[in-house]
Amino acid sequence: MASRGRRGGAPAREDEPRRDERAEQQTPAPQGPVLPPPPPVDYGVFMQGLVQAMQTQAHTQAALQAQLEAQDGAVDVAWDAFVRLFRAKFIPEYIQDKMEQEFLSLTQGSMTVLEYEARFSEHSKYAPHIVEDERRKTKKFVMGLKPSLRTRLVAFDHRTLDEALSAACRQEGEMEQYLEEKKASQKRPAATFQRQDKKKMVYQTPQRSVTVNNSQVPSVRSPGVKKECPHCGKTHGGSECWLVAATTRSKIAQDFNRELSVERQPQQ
């Protein structure tokens, strides 16, 4: 019994320090200073700081946006002021007055609608007291159009320049199409004017006396014989000469073209 206790208990107590020594030898020694453990985290304080940081970021972003908008407005104001100062220094006042008068008296004349709008926009900067009001600017543009367009646009009372410009271009296109069709109809062959109704009477032919057996006998030409026309010098049927009709139509066309040329005369 005693031998068992010595074999089972005493050797066990002797081996325990040896195992501890071997474990200490196997554990690597820490290099450098040993840092203390981190303090415990107070999550309430952490969340409060996070909320404050987010609020600060939002305020900073709003302030930055307001600053950018203010800078944009300042740039616009500064540019307008620069333009005024530039004109005042480098463009004489009498030149500015002359350009303003040209704008006030500007009309379309022989220009197209788009050409007139480009000239209108170019000269409008010399009359800011008019172009600042969109309705006044639109009215000035419409009243400067040629009469054939102005009478069609005045009734609509457009309030913006874009609306008036679109309507004027549309009306101009319709008028050009009408004039092209009119010109094409005037270029048709003249043979269309020579066709006469076969049922119309031919020119009356005078009777001519023929001597037969010492006696005067009036002779009458056959109904098929036609008299030479005093207008065109040809023989044709019908009571109306084609040359007279063509001349009348040509005169009407010349009057129409003369009226258009008066409207399209360039502005002096």
pLDDT for position 143: 92
User: Which residues lie below 8 Å from residue 119, measured CB to CB, with a gap of 6+?
Assistant: 106, 111
Higher pLDDT, 83 or 223: 83
Q: Residue 246's pLDDT band (boundaries 50, 70, 90)?
A: low
Query: Is the confidence at residue 67, as pLDDT, over 70?
Result: no
Question: Side chain identity at 194, as an amino acid letter?
Answer: Q
User: What are the φ/ψ torsions at residue 264 (nearest 5 degrees)?
Assistant: -95, 10
pLDDT in tens, 197-223: 544 544 444 555 545 455 554 544 545
Query: Is the confidence at residue 116, as pLDDT, over 60?
Result: yes
How far is the C-alpha of 165 from the C-alpha of 55, rounded, in Å? Answer: 51
Q: Residue 75's pLDDT band (boundaries 50, 70, 90)?
A: low
Higher pLDDT, 138 or 68: 138
pLDDT for position 107: 92
**152: its two tokens:** 């069609």
Query: Is the confidence at residue 9, as pLDDT, over 50?
Result: no
Question: Side chain identity at 268, as an amino acid letter?
Answer: Q
Query: Is the confidence at residue 2, as pLDDT, over 50?
Result: no
Q: Residue 166's pLDDT band (boundaries 50, 70, 90)?
A: very high
- The answer to which of 9-13, 138-142, 176-180 has the lowest mean pLDDT is 9-13
The structure's pTM equals 0.41
**205: its two tokens:** 């032919």
Range 158-196 burial, b when 16+ CB lie within 10 A, else e: beebeebbebbeebbeeeeeeeeeeeeeeeeeeeebbee
